[in-house]
Amino acid sequence: MKQTFAVIGLGRFGGSLLESLIAADQEVLAIDNNPALVENYMDVATHAVIADAQDEDALRDLDLPSFDHVIVAIGHNQQASILTTILLKDMGVRHVVAKAENNLHARVLDKVGADQVVRPEHEMAQRLAEQIMTPNLINYIDLGDKHSLGEIKIANLKFANKTISELNIRKNYGLNVIAIKSQGRVVVAPESSEMIQIGDVLTVVGESVDVKHFESLVE
């Protein structure tokens, strides 16, 4: 489904975000106070305008409350990022996502009403660190209350060519296998007789410590 987005600030982050949204066939209004940057995105974005986001009248003229999402991708100029976020929330924009440069900036954006605050470098670095430390944990979702869901790649022969019941995953590792991805095929809610091969990806649910422990065993 098509949604409408406005991206304010066409630096590295705002520009990449805009390109991803356009590639996903969404409608994107691009805004920056730097005419050269707006010029760059003129043919990429659905519309591109030169505007100072700290100027309330200029913001009002853009009718931003009619957009589904407005992303404040101004980073270095923290004053502009904070003022823009306040103005957007005051004028009734439903969903404001704001990019923070650091922890304090993030706290301020949260306090002034941003619906979502992102710290791309920080979040990407954390994810990369996790990926390097746990290469077989392909995906991880914290479900809250000490439970999580993990997608774990089987890379250890000890676990290969055995069925779920032979491995007794629930009893031995405290986990429920809810899906197995094997050579492009996905088996949802697999029977206990399902065979596991090297390279298969198991989707498991359980206590977070058990998910992490299992991941450390399959290497």
Of 178, 173, 140, which is closest to residue 156 (Cα–Cα)?
Answer: 173
Q: Is 56 in the site for ligand ADP (CB under 6 A)?
A: no
Choice from 7, 30, 33, 140 touching ligand ADP (CB under 6 A):
33
Instruction: Write down the residue that tokens 């590792």 correspond to.
Output: 173
For 104-141, b/e burial (b = at least 16 CB within 10 A) is ebbebbeebebbebbbbeeeeeeeeeeeeebebbbebe
Place of tokens 């009734």: 92
- Taking the complex as a whole, the smallest distance from the CB of residue 26 to ligand ADP amounts, in Å, to 19
CB burial of 189-205 (b: ≥16 within 10 Å; e: otherwise) equals: ebeeebebeeebbbbbb
9 binds ligand ADP (CB under 6 A): yes
Tell me 34's DSSP state: -
Contact letters for ligand ADP, residues 109-148 (x by CB under 6 A) = ----------------------------------------
Span interacting with ligand ADP, options 29-37, 140-148, 161-169, 194-202, rule CB under 6 A: 29-37
Residue 98 touches ligand ADP, criterion: CB under 6 A: no
| Count of residues touching ligand ADP (by CB under 6 A) | 20
Q: Is 100 in the site for ligand ADP (CB under 6 A)?
A: no
**Cα–chain center distance at 199:** 26
Query: Residue 48, interface with ligand ADP (CB under 6 A)?
Result: no
Q: Where does this chain bind ligand ADP (CB under 6 A)? A: 8-14, 32-34, 37, 52-54, 73-77, 80
